[in-house]
Amino acid sequence: MDEHVRQQYPRYRNHFLPRTRAGAVATVLFMLVFACAQPPIVFLVANRIEPLVFGLPFLYMYLLALYVALIAILIWAQRRGV
């Protein structure tokens, strides 16, 4: 596309980057916690049965804790109007 044609299009700030502090906190936290539930971290850190947590395997409880944290972040984001 020619530059003079491109100039005619409206310009918006990047929608992939949060614009508020609460938005940035929610996004970074969500991505960090989500990364902990993905390879390689989950395979390297959490792929074991012991130590048991409340009698349940470590991997199961590790993931459950992450899932609860992710849901909490989403609810916090909604309550903060992100």
Sort 73 into a burial class: Cβ within 10 Å, 0-12 / 13-18 / 19+.
buried
What gap in Å lies between CA 63 and CA 71, rounded to an integer?
12
Kindly tell me which of 22 and 30 has the beta carbon lying closer to another protein: 30
Binding mask 54-73 for another protein (x = CB under 8 A): xxxx-xx--xx-xx--xx--
Binds another protein by CB under 8 A, chosen from 24, 32, 43, 80: 43
45 scored as a contact of another protein (CB under 8 A) = no
List, in sequence order, every residue forming a beta bridge with 53; answer none if it has no partner: 56
Q: Name, in order, each residue with C-beta under 8 angstroms of 54's C-beta and a sequence gap of 6 or more.
A: 61
List residues near another protein by CB under 8 A. Answer: 1, 6, 8-16, 19, 30, 34, 37-40, 42-43, 47-49, 54-57, 59-60, 63-64, 66-67, 70-71, 74-75, 77-78
